[in-house]
Amino acid sequence: MEVKDQVRGLRESTGMNRKEFCKYFGIPYRTMTDWELGNRTLPPYVLRMMEYQVKMEKLDQHDDK
């Protein structure tokens, strides 16, 4: 799975639209759009940190726990 698909999947798992997700994480909308379209690649540690925060704050709507 490509990084762009991982970041989009993470956002979609929270049920947030792009604007809400950007506001929550403090990421510029244009940056997030470029990440999801594959125009830019986010650093792997940023994706891991976002995944961790989503998990710890139980934002993942697809999590059965």
Q: Quick check: is 63 in a domain?
A: no
Q: Are the beta carbons of 35 and 64 closer than 8 angstroms?
A: no
The residue type found at 45 is Y
CATH of the domain at 19: 1.10.260.40
- When divided into structural domains, the chain yields a total of 1
Give the pLDDT of residue 61: 77
Tens of pLDDT along the chain (65 residues) come to 899 999 999 999 999 999 999 999 999 999 999 999 999 999 999 999 999 999 999 888 765 54
Q: Which domain holds residue 37?
A: 3-56
Tokens of 32: 């997030």
Give the pLDDT of residue 65: 46
Q: Are the beta carbons of 13 and 54 closer than 8 angstroms?
A: yes
Stated pTM of the model = 0.86
Give the pLDDT of residue 9: 96
CA distances, 60 to each of 10, 30, 38, 39, 51 (Å): 8, 23, 23, 26, 9
